Chains A and B, each alone.
Chain A
């Protein structure tokens, strides 16, 4: 296991192109006018669901319908990998972006930032579609392959927000969990089920005529009955009957047999194929999606292109996924039936070769799918290791974690980077800590059992994951782990430095080590690869803003904060917790220059961004900053409430670092302010400029003298004095001075 690391700007995981292709309409497809009309009629509903078992012609029908539409269609063939909503929506957004440049760009950018919310990306995408106003259809084929609640919920939510110009059509084998009953109740879904999709006798006759099969009217009826109108059965039957001398006899024997129709007909159809063709079919049936090149590689031939073109022409088993004849797949049912004839070992070998070909051609996801289907966890592990940064930096952390979970434990122990990175993903996804601990434990086992396979890179990943303890309220532990992560990063994980430094600076900040915080944060933001790790970059800039603000360097603080927020905005981090530090920094800076309105606004923004289901150090700190600002604004009741919430959270933390000290200081200020407010009716804190005037008054200067000393006009002095009287609840110079003195506002001068 080498300690070589990926280059910092690792290529992000892209899309799997074949998923976005519109399958071609086979020349032999019967045009089912009745169903096409049903689909047209459904245009009033945002959602149309084609819900029937395999072989009912759902994909075929949708594809025919798309071919006849003037408006653009975005086609997405779903699969189990779309259980990761980031993957699902990345593909959809790519489809949208290809339709019109810029329509899907924001959604794509948002999705590629790890930890960003799906809801945001979906909203971005939908509003883009609404703005364009053009009619558009989105087809989601094979929705039944998606079972994750998050993905299904995102589809359900999207369906409910669709603008009027967009329709979603879905094909599935089982009722999808996307809120259909309530959509049904609202008349917002059109459904086409098995009984609609089944061929009628008339349609059966149409198929028979189309295939040029000479048979009697009775035979047509018998055929329709025997197949129960099941399209797959009918197409198989047509394929067989068209080559028979006596189709009527064929139908009779079919009717006379109690065998399952697909079983019977597959036998018949396969038996008339030339052995090389049959062999080709059998061996390629184990592939999912394939190109002629892939077939050549897997079967050790050179003529796959020709064979596939011929097969595509002569029957419907092969679905051409594009017009150029690059990508194909078999009809699902046919592939299943053919695979039954293959030996397991042979199947595995074919799939292994397919995995190797895909890996060589940069089709990482397809390679992983094939390796997994070949029961080859070792290859899956290797592929994941090679591409882990592409997955994680591309926001596909759920997908990555899914693969890690699929691997058997011993493979994880042999490749400790995987459970380590999996633990990071689980922590980022806020999965239960038990899962994170289990994955880290597996990595630790690996280290004990095979110390030579351990590397600084893995060490850095493990320690940075452990440093996430800070959020659960253990600042010293976070510092400890983050420091170890940094040592490891310097020893051999340079690519991870930005993230490590960001974690370390955060931990140090809450521990109160401000100088060291500053050094770490500066190092992070000055690295050329910092912008590649948006959350670390924004977080570090925000910390610098906070530190400078706390230490009185307000201009510098504001500069850091603005840099953080403008970058965050461009990179869809504006709504993430990392941006909160910049807002808090701005709040503290504004407060110390008397801009109390703005200070409170920024503090509120910072606090909101830190809200979460569980109490965290970050949120408690934000509450304290908010309380601090509110005390200065004399909003004492609110400040007291914020302080109380913060203190309740702090009480739960094992090691809250400097937070208790900050809380105690605020409590002191609060009680002082309360006392003063009682006796001197303080309305609001005077600004720094006003206090400068007050000091002048306190030393007995006249208003004109004060103006000369401070380089301000007499009118300005007078308006400051008016404000002072108002804010200090005073009616005279003496009263204002007394009020200010009691509050210590004149101290130090």
Chain B
């Protein structure tokens, strides 16, 4: 999977407590679902996000690559992901 912007959709609308769960990604809840959108650096980043979603008991609906032109309105932050691996706690080996 090439790097780029992706939209992950999970079931249920997530409240503000989840903001820190997906550092660097934008969270937009509507219509009984939540979109988690942002730039994915590489496979490890994606795996980390999927694992995070799992450990929070969320149900993954879809993962879709999106291009910049189709970015969703005012809810999208400019591209820029934090250096640390978001969505993964430092667990060590």
Most buried by A among B20, B31, B56: B56
Shortest Cβ distance from B32 into chain A, in angstroms?
4
Q: Bound state CA distance, A186 and B21, in angstroms?
A: 42
Q: Which B residues touch A267, using CB under 8 A?
A: 15, 17
Say whether A260 faces chain B, with CB atoms less than 8 Å apart: yes
B75 at the interface (CB under 8 A from A): no
A232: chain B residues at CB < 8 Å are 57
B57, A259: Cβ atoms under 8 Å?
Answer: no
Say yes or no: B18 contacts A406, CB within 8 Å. Answer: no
Q: When the two chains form the complex, which single residue of B11, B18, B31 contacts A340, counting CB atoms closer than 8 Å?
A: B18
Task: Determine the distance from Cα of A374 to Cα of B21 in the docked complex, in whole angstroms.
Answer: 17
Does A572 have its Cβ within 8 Å of any Cβ on chain B?
no
Q: Chain A residues with Cβ under 8 A from B20's Cβ?
A: 340
Chain B residue contacts of A339, Cβ below 8 A: 89
B92:A333 contact, CB within 8 angstroms: no
Q: Who on chain B is nearest to A80 by CB?
A: B91
Residues of chain B lying within 8 A (CB to CB) of residue A262: 56-57
Contacts A53-B54, A333-B56, A340-B21 hold; do A263 and B14 have CB atoms under 8 A apart?
yes
Residues of B within 8 A of A263 (CB): 12-15, 17-18
From A373, which residue of chain B is reached at the shortest CB distance?
B90
A741 part of interface (Cβ distance < 8 Å): no
CA distance A295 to B11 in the complex (A): 35
Instruction: Please pick, from B10, B32, B57, B92, the residue contacting A258 in the complex, using a CB distance under 8 A.
Output: B32
A152 to chain B, nearest CB (A): 15
B2 interface residue per 8 A CB criterion: no
The reply to whether the CB of A336 lies closer than 8 angstroms to some CB of chain B is: yes
**Interface size in chain B (residues, C-beta < 8 A):** 25
Task: Confirm or deny: B37 has a beta carbon within 8 angstroms of a beta carbon on chain A.
Answer: no
Dominant SS at the A interface?
helix
Residue contact A80 to B92, C-beta cutoff 8 Å: yes
What mask results when residues 401 to 414 of chain A are scored 1 for a CB within 8 Å of chain B, else 0? 01101100000000
A525 at the interface (CB under 8 A from B): no
- Please pick, from B13, B57, B89, the residue contacting A55 in the complex, using a CB distance under 8 A: B57
Complex: chain B residue closest to A372, CB-CB: B92
Are A259 and B13 within 8 A (Cβ)? yes
Interface residue tally for chain A (C-beta within 8 Å): 38
Residue of B nearest to A266 (CB): B17
A-B contact count (CB 8 A): 83
Residue A341 CB within 8 A of the other chain:
yes
Residue of B18, B29, B92 contacting most chain A CB atoms (<10 Å): B92
B12 near A260 with CB under 8 A, answer yes
Which residues does chain A contribute within 8 Å of B55, judged by CB atoms?
Answer: 54, 332-333, 336
Q: Does B73 contact A (CB under 8 A)?
A: no
B34 contact set on A, CB distance < 8 A: 260
From known contacts A80-B92, A368-B92, A372-B91, infer whether A261 and B12 are also in contact, taking CB-CB under 8 Å. Answer: yes
A694: min CB distance to chain B, Å: 68
For A333, the chain B residues whose CB sits under 8 A away are: 55-57
- Whether B93 contacts A83 by the Cβ 8 Å rule is yes
**By the criterion CB–CB under 8 Å, are A260 and B54 in contact?**
no
Contacts of A402 in B (CB 8 A): 93
Q: Taking the complex as formed, is B41 at the interface, i.e. its CB lies under 8 A from any CB of chain A?
A: no
A337 neighbours in B (Cβ, 8 Å) = 17, 56
B14 touches A259 (CB 8 A): yes
Residue B58 CB within 8 A of the other chain = yes
B54 pairs with A259, CB closer than 8 A: no
Closest chain B residue to A376, Cβ basis:
B90
Contact between chains at A373 and B92 (CB < 8 Å): yes
In the assembled complex, the Cα of A230 lies from the Cα of B58 at a distance in Å of 11
> Contacts of A53 on B, CB cut-off 8 Å?
54, 57, 59
* A110 lies within 8 A of chain B by Cβ: no
- A342: nearest residue on chain B (CB-CB)? B20
Q: Which of chain A's residues have a CB closer than 8 A to the CB of B93?
A: 80-81, 83, 399, 402-403, 405-406
Residues of B close to A373: CB separation below 8 A = 89-92
Could you tell me the distance in whole angstroms from the C-beta of B40 to the nearest C-beta in chain A? 20
Instruction: Tell whether A369 is near chain B: CB-to-CB under 8 Å.
Output: yes
A173 at interface (Cβ–Cβ under 8 A)? Answer: yes
Residues A369 and B92 in contact in the complex (CB < 8 Å), given A53-B54, A259-B12: yes
Q: With a CB–CB cut-off of 8 A, which chain A residues contact B90?
A: 372-375
Interface centre among A55, A258, A333 (most CB of B within 10 A): A258
| CB-CB nearest 4 A-B residue pairs | A260-B12, A372-B92, A402-B93, A258-B32
- Please name 5 pairs of A and B residues whose Cβ atoms are closer than 8 Å in the assembled complex, sorted by A: A259-B15, A262-B56, A264-B15, A333-B57, A372-B92
Known pairs A260-B10, A372-B92; list 15 more (Cβ under 8 Å). Answer: A53-B57, A53-B59, A54-B57, A81-B93, A258-B13, A258-B31, A260-B12, A260-B14, A260-B58, A337-B17, A341-B17, A369-B92, A372-B91, A373-B92, A374-B90
**A contacts, CB < 8 Å to B:** 53-55, 80-81, 83, 173-174, 230, 232, 258-264, 266-267, 332-333, 336-337, 339-341, 368-369, 372-375, 380, 399, 402-403, 405-406
